[in-house]
């Protein structure tokens, strides 16, 4: 107890002790607690534990549902569902986060986003946009493949890697667009329209619309009505590879084919080059065998004719020589055709590699030019030439006119290597 009348010093908490104290206060004040909200960011770990958040228009709280409680669920929770949960509110001490440990969950209806998704799905389905009869098969040997996705998306790297491995001879055209956010639907529509123009010229005959996984909000751009109607107008088969296997969007229903992942979309669009080369080798062998059988039969007939004549005649020898020449020509033609096919595949592969290298080089040069422009605009270059930036010392406002100054005013001058505090002196030679 202090006797000099000074106030007691505030208690200094250890971080862990403070977290435990807050957890105890929450336990005493709220638990057990029931909460109603919309699921977002739902994931199930390999351990069986489930992690997600509950949100409404006013706020959001992190939730954890451990394996034992999750195993008792009567349904599979999904992003966008409106649920009611019961559990205990506490503090996750390792991060100092507020966390609701969910012990039970039941559906309370469907979230606003999910309801909007279902309404649009029902509308477009009634108009026939999802009809199986309008879906087209992918070409076995595409002349070119168009990709609509974000330049920064991991899905782009996965798709390009897959196409380069399976079909390096097939040209790839990228139409970049945002795949998340308010501007994403309009950019995706514009990207598809640009690919449609290339398809009209015969440059590409398959299109991949791809994006990696995410929450329902992350994938919402692919539930846009205008994008759906643009997909249906595609002049060539279009594959939708959006999200993971459990994710479904309106784009999936409108596309000619839905792939569970972006990589799977690339695999569907491009058959492995080795498979076609193997098929070509098999056909070559069959042609050789057929030609040899035909040659054997011809020689057999020749032998029979020679036996009937008793001895080979000059005409028989000429026929035999002609057959030998034809067989040789057939062998040479088959070998030449196989070499040309292999050369065309190598040329297509080299062209694809050169195109990718040129794009990377152009992007690097463009970045260098932008960097030079930014350096030229650096205000420090102006200060290094002897100029100074004057500001009012009290308000920090820039000073651009001598008439705005008054005697005794405190001024700060910013030079190239630091700042100097100044004060305005009386004007000399003032008129009376």
Q: What is the CATH number of the domain that holds 251?
A: 3.40.50.2300
- Domain assignment present for residue 6? The answer is no
Look at residue 3 and tell me if it is in a domain: no
Better pLDDT: 29 or 303: 303
Pairing, β 33-44 against β 60-65 = unpaired
pLDDT tens for 224-258 read: 999 999 999 999 999 999 988 878 899 999 999 99
Residue 203, classed as helix, strand or coil, is: coil
pLDDT of amino acid 432: 37
Residue 125 and residue 229 in one domain? yes
pLDDT of 82? 87
In DSSP notation, 242-295 reads: ES-TT---HHHHHSSEE-SSHHHHHHHHS--HHHHHHHHHHHHHHHHHHHHHHH
Which position has the higher pLDDT, 258 or 93? Answer: 258
Q: Can you give the pLDDT at residue 70?
A: 92
Burial 326-341 (b: 16+ CB within 10 A, else e): ebeebeeebeeebeee
Dig out the tokens for 80 from the structure: 């966008």
Query: Mean of the pLDDT values across residues 325-329?
Result: 85
429 part of a folded domain: no
| Span 48-54, average pLDDT | 93
Do residue 128 and residue 239 come from a single domain? yes
Number of structural domains found in the chain: 4
Q: Residue 190: pLDDT above 90? A: yes
Contacts of 195 (CB under 8 A, 6+ apart): 146, 148, 173, 175, 204, 207
In a shared domain, residues 59 and 186:
no
Average confidence (pLDDT) over 261-278? 82
| Domain extent at residue 145 | 116-269
Check residues 267 and 367 and name the one with the higher pLDDT: 267
C-alpha to C-alpha distance for 418 and 286, rounded to whole angstroms: 84
Which of 78, 110, 142 finishes a domain?
110
Q: Examine the pLDDT at 312 and tell me if it is beyond 60.
A: no
Please compute the mean of the pLDDT values over residues 130-142 and round it to a whole number.
92
pLDDT score of 297: 83
Band of residue 420 on the pLDDT scale cut at 50, 70, 90: confident
**Confidence category of residue 314, pLDDT binned at 50, 70, 90:** low
Mean per-residue pLDDT of the chain: 84
- pLDDT of 229: 97
Residue 10 lies in a domain: no
Buried b (16+ CB within 10 A) or exposed e, 393-420: eeeeeebeeeeeeeeeeebbebeeeeee
The span from the CA of 122 to the CA of 267, in Å, is 30
344 and 284 in a common domain = yes
Q: How far apart are CA 255 and CA 325, in angstroms?
A: 55
Q: What is the DSSP letter of 74?
A: S
Element (H, E) at 71: none
Question: Is 90 exceeded by the pLDDT of residue 65?
Answer: yes
Which residues have a Cβ under 8 Å from the Cβ of 234 and sit 6 or more positions away?
192, 196, 199, 207, 256
User: What pLDDT is recorded for position 5?
Assistant: 56
Q: Do 164 and 194 have their domain in common?
A: yes
* Calpha distance 166→182 (Å, rounded): 35
Same structural domain for residues 265 and 291? no
Is residue 4 situated within a structural domain?
no
Predicted local distance difference test score (pLDDT) of residue 367: 82
Same domain as 261, residue 286: no
The whole-angstrom separation of Cα 231 and Cα 322 is 60
- Confidence band for 100, pLDDT divided at 50, 70 and 90: confident
Tokens 């195993």 sit at which residue? 71
pLDDT in tens, 335-352: 888 888 788 878 877 777
432 domain residue, yes or no? no
Q: Tell me: do 149 and 283 sit in the same domain.
A: no
List all residues 6 or more positions away from 360 whose beta carbon is below 8 Å from its beta carbon.
none
Euclidean distance between CA atoms 382 and 304, whole angstroms: 103
d(CA 84, CA 86): 7
Of 269, 296, 319, which residue is a domain's last? 269
Q: Do 170 and 46 fall within a single domain?
A: no
What is the pLDDT confidence band of residue 191, given thresholds at 50, 70 and 90? very high
Given a contact cutoff of 8 angstroms between Cβ atoms, the answer to whether 313 and 305 are in contact is no
In the chain, what percentage of residues exceed pLDDT 70?
Answer: 88
The 3 state secondary structure assigned to 111-173 is CHHHHHHHHHHHHHHHCCCCCHHHCCCCCCCCCCEEEEECCCCHHHHHHHHHHHHHCCCCCEE
Comparison of pLDDT for 12 and 270, the residue scoring more: 270
Assigned token pair, 72: 């008792």
In this model, does residue 393 exceed pLDDT 50? yes
Task: Reply yes or no on whether the pLDDT at 281 is more than 60.
Answer: yes
Give the domain CATH number at 65.
2.40.50.140
- 148 and 257 together in one domain: yes
Which of these three, 247, 269, 291, is where a domain ends? Answer: 269
10-19, 118-127, 140-149, 388-397: range with lowest mean pLDDT: 10-19
Range 187-196, long-range pairs (CB < 8 A, 24+ positions): 188/148, 188/221, 188/222, 188/224, 188/227, 188/230, 189/226, 189/227, 189/230, 191/148, 192/148, 192/227, 192/230, 192/231, 192/234, 193/230, 195/146, 195/148, 196/233, 196/234, 196/235
Comparing 372 with 251, the larger pLDDT belongs to: 251
- Claim to verify: residue 66 and residue 189 sit in the same structural domain: no
Distance of alpha carbon 351 from alpha carbon 224, whole angstroms: 36
User: Model confidence at 357, in pLDDT bands (50, 70, 90)?
Assistant: confident
Q: Are residues 255 and 301 in the same domain?
A: no
pLDDT at 16: 66
Average pLDDT over residues 398-410: 83
- When pLDDT is averaged across residues 177-205 and rounded to a whole number, the result is 95
Q: Is residue 431 assigned to a domain?
A: no
User: pLDDT category, 431, cuts 50, 70, 90?
Assistant: very low
Most confidently modeled range among 115-119, 357-361, 401-405: 115-119
Asked if 424 and 406 touch (Cβ cutoff 8 Å), the reply is yes
Question: Does the pLDDT at position 84 exceed 80?
Answer: yes
Greater confidence (319 vs 65) lies with 65
Query: Span 402-424, mean pLDDT?
Result: 84
In a domain, 2, yes or no: no
């Amino acid at each position: 107890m202090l006797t000099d009348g000074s106030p007691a010093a505030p208690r200094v908490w250890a971080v862990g002790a403070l977290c435990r104290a807050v957890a105890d206060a929450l336990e005493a004040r709220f638990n057990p607690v029931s909460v109603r909200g919309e699921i977002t960011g739902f994931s199930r770990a390999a351990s069986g534990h489930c992690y997600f958040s509950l949100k409404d228009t006013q706020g959001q709280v992190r939730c954890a549902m451990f394996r034992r409680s999750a195993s008792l669920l009567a349904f599979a929770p999904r992003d966008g569902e409106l649920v009611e949960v019961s559990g205990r509110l506490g503090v996750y001490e390792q991060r100092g986060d507020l966390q609701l440990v969910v012990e039970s969950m039941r559906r309370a209806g469907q979230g606003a986003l999910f309801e909007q998704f279902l309404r649009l799905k029902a509308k477009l389905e009634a108009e026939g946009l999802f009809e199986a009869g309008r879906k087209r098969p992918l070409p076995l040997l595409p002349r070119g493949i168009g990709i609509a996705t974000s330049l920064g998306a991991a899905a782009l790297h996965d798709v390009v890697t897959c196409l380069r491995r399976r079909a390096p001879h097939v040209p790839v055209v990228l139409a970049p667009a945002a795949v998340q956010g308010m501007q994403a639907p309009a950019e995706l529509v514009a990207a598809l329209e640009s690919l449609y123009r290339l398809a009209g010229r015969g440059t590409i005959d398959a299109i991949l619309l791809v994006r990696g996984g995410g929450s329902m909000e992350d994938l919402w751009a692919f539930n846009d009505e205008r994008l759906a109607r643009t997909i249906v107008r595609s002049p060539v088969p279009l594959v939708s590879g959006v999200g993971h296997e459990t994710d479904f969007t309106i784009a999936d229903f409108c596309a000619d084919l839905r792939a569970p992942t972006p990589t799977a979309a690339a695999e569907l669009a491009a058959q492995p080059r080795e498979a076609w080369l193997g098929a070509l080798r098999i056909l070559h062998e069959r042609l050789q065998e057929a030609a040899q059988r035909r040659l054997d039969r011809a020689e057999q007939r020749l032998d029979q004719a020679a036996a009937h004549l008793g001895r080979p005649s000059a005409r028989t020898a000429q026929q035999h020589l002609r057959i030998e020449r034809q067989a040789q020509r057939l062998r040479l033609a088959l070998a030449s055709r196989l070499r040309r096919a292999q050369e065309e595949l190598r040329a297509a592969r080299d062209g694809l590699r050169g195109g990718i290298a040129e794009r990377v080089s152009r992007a690097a040069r463009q970045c260098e030019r932008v960097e030079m422009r930014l350096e030229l605009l650096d205000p420090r270059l102006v200060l290094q030439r002897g100029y100074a930036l004057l500001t009012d010392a009290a308000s920090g406002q820039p000073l651009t006119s001598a008439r705005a100054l008054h005697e005794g005013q405190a001024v700060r001058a910013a030079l190239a290597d630091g700042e100097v505090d100044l004060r305005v002196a009386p004007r000399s030679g003032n008129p009376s």
